[in-house]
A and B are shown apart, each in its own frame.
Chain A
Amino acid sequence: MASQSRKGGKNRSGQEGVLARVTNTISQSSIVQQGKLVASDAAFVTKKLLKSTGKAAWIAGTTFLILVVPLIIEMDREQQMNELEMQQASLLGTPPVAPQK
């Protein structure tokens, strides 16, 4: 009887019992544990990668700003001045383009 009531008890909350058992086995199975470990590792590595990519992007960006941007600006101005001189040289009756350095 006791076993019957126990069995009944098991059967009434049998659904829950079965469900709980099934989810327990699933969540305690080794695959799921490993999956969790892998996911947390992946998250960790992705966070680190993003941070280091961010850092690298910052270093590359500021170095580019300091080294290359003034160069581009100055070369552009030099080119503009050259064009202006060529224009003026052609306007003034095409004297021979003497290098005025």
Chain B
Amino acid sequence: MASHVGLVPPTPAPYKDNEPKAAEKIDYLNLPCPIPYEEIHREALMSLKPELFEGMRFDFTKGLNQKFSLSHSVFMGPMEVPSQATETIKIPTAHYEFGANFLDPKLMLFGRILTDGRLNARMKCDLTDNLSLKANAQLTNEPHMSHGMVNFDYKGKDFRTQFQLGNGALFGASYIQSVTPHLSLGSEVFWAGQHRKSGIGLAARYNNDKMVATGQVASTGMVALSYVQKVSEKVSLASDFMYNYMSRDVTASFGYDYILRQCRLRGKIDSNGCTAAFLEERLNMGLNFILSAEIDHWKKDYKFGFGLTVGE
């Protein structure tokens, strides 16, 4: 995008300002490819929803090959059990997770298995240049809690479509199109056979070099708006607003994301009275120290965690 600095002196004549802008006409046949529909809130999610945890976490990733790597991970800490009472019940658990990753330009395989019997598998395969297949599955010991999903993505010149099949007769389709170099609009439809629910959603995303604004509405009653402003190359501020018009639930949150040379610090404060911070500090090459803190003032629930990540 050519900048207009130096092209137009800031004169009070308004018609002069419009001329160079008209000279840079938008080439509607050459629009960029939009972000995939499910990643439309990507920047806001990355800044506002880090992986907060409570307890101790240790991750070790070892690359055996250029394409193949193994990972070992230990987690010890209280896990929240959902309960009807207002008090949250925490049960101390510990588990070890073994994983293997295979990365190829055309094929990516990712598998994780935990000591409590859960298996997580993901696959992404580029069938052709434009068509790619993604699948993911989660298997558990408990009956009826396993699920899997298959996605077919087609990437066009300035649009993307996706078709989704899941177990339990879940069908979904989404389409997103770039309308101008900055604005892209999309919509999605889904049908869940098991719960006999169907829905339709619309989304819009406007992005600039400095900011990203997205909005999403779904017929399940959810309205989500987000705005991320890149204040400098190290700092970005994000805010998010979610409203459910069926259950009248409103949540607004503000956060910051500082990406410095030695660390990455993300902090956020919520309208539910929650504040959280997540720090990843690089102690050495390949050695990262993680600290996570979450305070919920209304429920008086305090969660602090620390961890270490070894490996690239």
Contacts and interface: CB of A to CB of B under 8 A. Distances in A.
A66 B275 contact: yes
A70 B297 CA distance: 20
Interface stretch (A22-30, A32-40, A46-54, A74-82): A74-82
A67 interface: yes
A75 B256 CA distance: 14
A47 B277 CA distance: 34
B275 A67 contact: yes
A84 to B, nearest CB: 12
Contacts of B276: 66
Which bracket fits the contact residues of A? 10 to 19
Given A59-B297, A71-B267, A81 B279 contact: no
> Interface SS of chain A: helix, strand, loop or mixed?
helix
Contact of A66 (B256, B258, B263, B295): B295
B233 to A, nearest CB: 8
A62 interface: yes
B265 A71 contact: yes
Given A74-B260, A78-B260, A66 B265 contact: no
Interface in B258-283: 258, 260-263, 265, 267, 269, 275-277, 279
B185 to A, nearest CB: 35
A101 to B, nearest CB: 8
A90 interface: no
Interface residues of B, number: 17
A77 B260 CA distance: 10
B279 A70 contact: yes
A63 interface: yes
A74 B265 CA distance: 8
Contacts of A66: 267, 275-277, 293, 295
Contacts of B267: 66-67, 70-71
Interface string B201-236: 000000000000000000000000000000000000
Contact of A81 (B256, B258, B261, B269): B261
Nearest to A82: B261
Contacts, number: 42
A59 B265 CA distance: 21
A81 B262 CA distance: 10
B261 A63 contact: no
Given A70-B279, A71-B258, A63 B269 contact: yes
B295 A63 contact: yes
Contacts of B275: 63, 66-67
B295 A74 contact: no
B261 A74 contact: no
Given A59-B297, A63-B295, A70 B265 contact: yes
Contacts of A75: 258, 260
A98 B297 CA distance: 46
A88 B147 CA distance: 57
A26 B216 CA distance: 72
B269 A77 contact: no
Contacts of B277: 66-67, 70
A78 B258 CA distance: 11
Which residue, of A74, A75, A101, has the highest number of chain B Cβ atoms within 10 A? Answer: A74
23 contacts: A59-B297, A63-B269, A63-B275, A63-B295, A63-B297, A66-B267, A66-B277, A67-B267, A67-B269, A67-B275, A70-B277, A70-B279, A70-B291, A71-B256, A71-B258, A71-B267, A74-B263, A74-B265, A75-B260, A77-B262, A78-B260, A78-B262, A81-B261
Q: Which 9 A-B pairs have the closest CB atoms?
A: A67-B267, A78-B260, A66-B277, A63-B275, A66-B293, A59-B297, A74-B263, A66-B275, A74-B265
